[in-house]
Chains A and B, each alone.
Chain A
Amino acid sequence: MNETTPALEAARLVLARDLRLAFRRPGELLQPLVFFAIVTTLFPLAITPQLSQLRVVAPGVVWVAALLSSLLALEFLFRDDAHDGTLEQYALSGQSLTWLLFAKTASHWLLTGLPLAVMAPLAGLSLGVPAASVPGIVVSIALGSVALSLVGAIGASLTLGVRRSSVLLSILTLPLVIPVLIFGSSATQRAIEGEDFAAPLYLLAAIAVLGITLAPLAAAAAVRISLE
């Protein structure tokens, strides 16, 4: 990367690199999805096999499982690149670290958020939600996971090189994403009940936009501090 590479081009290259690296280890790619499937399976076993009761808790189950799966993958977002010095090279490259981290976050969303959104209806159907609610579930999880990835990137960058970082990452990130959980599960619930779910979806979109504008800046600041 020389100095004349524009920021967007550099971000695109980082995104392409991260996606290529991820697809070289397809097993790891599937892990969050398998985790999501297992967690949603636990609820019928723990609560009741009756679909009429599961339908009531389905939005919460799907959203909490998606949240935890996204969190699981976050731990690896910056860790390997911090260990082998790639992040340091990014910071020294003369490129905007904000843009590069935004690209890495986008790859996290493409590799976990989007597949989760596609898979969530399957989990929902197994919990007895009507088939008509599938588009609502997909859209709300796809949009909400954008915010999850962005807020999670802040948590991942803050816990770089910290002892017991995986527990700390959860403790730092979960309180911050509570609004996403509230509006996301509310949109899913309305979709399941066949109501109009646009209002919570707009709020989710607002949070996602706020995250896109601010979260990469905070993550870049935290990465720079941890590299000092």
Chain B
Amino acid sequence: MAWTWFHRLGSPPYIYSLAARLTPWFAWPAALLILGGLYGGLIYASPDYQQGEGYRILYVHAPSAWMSLMVYTTMAISAAVGLIWRIKVAHAVAASCAAMGASFTFAALATGSLWGAPMWGTYWEWDPRLTFELILLFQFLGYMGLRAAIDDVQRADRVSAVLAIVGVVNVPIIHYSVEWWNSLHQTASVMKLSKPTMPFDMLIPLLMMFLGFTLLFVALLLTRLRAEVLSRERSAAWIREVVSA
């Protein structure tokens, strides 16, 4: 009996209405946190003693880079769940993740490149983290390409799930090999477990942006999941009831 909530998650009509109900609970906090974080980061926080005002792009760059990895992991985990337990909704989650992950990765690359222009004097530097993001973008694009090349949805789900799992095993290897290959980027200053080297007025808006981006992702994922479920179940009877209601 205790597992009924879990089994209900596998039912498309239930997940459709659940996603619709949950979306505002993530969307509104996300909007507030991002607005607050942007105000705090762009206006309130003091300029950096070395980089001046230029560092403020960090408030979009770092959360985007964080999200790119998180979306990839979410995609791979839900693909694995779908592959192992044959849950269709899990595959729909993975399918909804791909385009968003590619967008976050692209945002991280674009902001990183714009940040590089004043700081490094060049738009592109073969810096390990930018290179890593670029490879991650290729992985997202490959996943989307594989999915698009297979017409049968169920086969596309399962084949791309294998790719997502292989990719997620490879992500740490790529990360460390790229790190080892070239090290030019400034070292991480937020994720240190000891005292963060960032002053408080810079750190709080950044954490707000991290949380806001995460909630934004969940809200967007729920919305895209509804669209994905609608398109996959378009011949089912319950869709007619939903649409006519």
Contacts and interface: CB of A to CB of B under 8 A. Distances in A.
Interface of A: 154, 158-159, 162-165, 168, 171-172, 174-176, 178-179, 182-183, 186, 203, 207, 210, 214, 218, 221-222, 225-226, 228
B150 A182 contact: no
B47 interface: no
B163 A172 contact: yes
14 contacts: A154-B162, A158-B163, A165-B149, A168-B142, A168-B149, A172-B145, A176-B139, A176-B170, A178-B178, A179-B174, A179-B177, A214-B169, A218-B162, A221-B83
A139 to B, nearest CB: 19
Given A162-B149, A183-B177, A175 B166 contact: no
A178 B149 contact: no
Interface string B162-184: 11011101100110011011000
Interface string B115-145: 0000000000000000000010011011001
Contact of B162 (A165, A210, A225): A225
Contacts of B163: 158, 172
B158 interface: yes
B174 to A, nearest CB: 6
B132 to A, nearest CB: 10
Nearest to A228: B155
B145 A182 contact: no
Contacts of A179: 170, 173-174, 177
Given A172-B163, A183-B177, A222-B159, A162 B142 contact: no
Contacts of B135: 175, 178
Given A175-B174, A225-B162, 10 more contacts: A154-B166, A158-B163, A159-B149, A168-B146, A172-B146, A176-B139, A176-B166, A182-B181, A214-B169, A226-B155
B149 A171 contact: no
Given A154-B166, A158-B159, A175-B139, A207 B173 contact: yes
Contact of B167 (A159, A163, A174, A176): A176
A175 B149 contact: no
Contacts of B174: 175, 178-179
Nearest to B140: A175
Given A158-B159, A178-B135, A225-B158, A171 B142 contact: yes
Most A Cβ at <10 Å: residue of B155, B158, B159: B159
A50 B149 CA distance: 45
B177 A178 contact: yes
Contacts of A174: 138
B48 to A, nearest CB: 32
Contacts of B158: 225
B149 A158 contact: no
Contacts of A182: 177-178, 180-181
A179 B170 CA distance: 9
B177 A171 contact: no
Given A158-B146, A179-B174, A182-B177, A225 B159 contact: yes
B119 to A, nearest CB: 25
B149 A164 contact: yes
A171 B165 CA distance: 16
A174 B138 CA distance: 9
Contacts of B155: 225-226, 228
Going nearest first, the 5 A-B pairs with the smallest beta carbon separation are: A179-B177, A175-B138, A172-B142, A225-B158, A162-B149
A163 B159 contact: no
A13 to B, nearest CB: 27
Contacts of B146: 158-159, 162, 168, 172
Contacts of A218: 162, 165-166
A221 B159 CA distance: 9
Interface in B171-209: 173-174, 177-178, 180-181
B52 to A, nearest CB: 35
Contacts of A203: 177
Contacts of A162: 146, 149-150
A226 B157 CA distance: 11
B51 to A, nearest CB: 30
A210 B159 CA distance: 21
